[in-house]
Amino acid sequence: MSETTKDINRVTGTIIGISFRLILYALAILLIYKGATRGYEFGHEIFYASAMAAAPGRDMEIQVEAGASVSAVGKTLEKEGLINNQYSFIIQAMVYDYEIQPGDYILNTSMTSREILDILSEDAQEGKE
């Protein structure tokens, strides 16, 4: 192999190595950005919940069975289109110390998840006062 060919191979290898590192850095930055924005959005859903629809919304009847977990209720509410994210609903219930009571409820798509939690735990809140 001639000296020129060795130099070309060395330069090509260096360029490929630098390109590979730049791609890795770009992917790392993209993952950090996506993680930060998703984390912000999730936190925003927990502390500044918004309604799924504008008023007047749509009324829906929801039945909460005795012994139903917050997770099961959150999954049902998300499936019915009353909340955006069951996990933020679960965390709200834990952070704000809600106890969901069994019963039949009329909920509206224009309610925030905090308003829904207020209604679902009404009897428990009255007992704490």
Q: Are 77 and 112 in contact (CB under 8 A)?
A: no
Q: Are 57 and 81 in contact (CB under 8 A)?
A: no
> What gap in Å lies between CA 62 and CA 103, rounded to an integer?
8
Q: How confident is the model at residue 123 (pLDDT cuts 50, 70, 90)?
A: low
Q: Which two tokens stand for residue 85?
A: 């994210």
Tell me the CB-side half-sphere exposure of residue 111, using CA atoms within 13 A: 21
What's the pLDDT tens digit per position in 32-80?
999 999 999 999 888 888 899 998 999 999 999 999 999 999 999 999 9
**At a CB cut-off of 8 Å and minimum separation 6, what does 23 contact?**
none
What's the pLDDT tens digit per position in 73-111?
999 999 999 999 999 999 999 999 999 999 999 999 999
**pTM to 2 decimals?**
0.73
Q: Which amino acid is at 49?
A: A
Q: How confident is the model at residue 122 (pLDDT cuts 50, 70, 90)?
A: confident
Strand 103-108 to 59-64 pairing? antiparallel
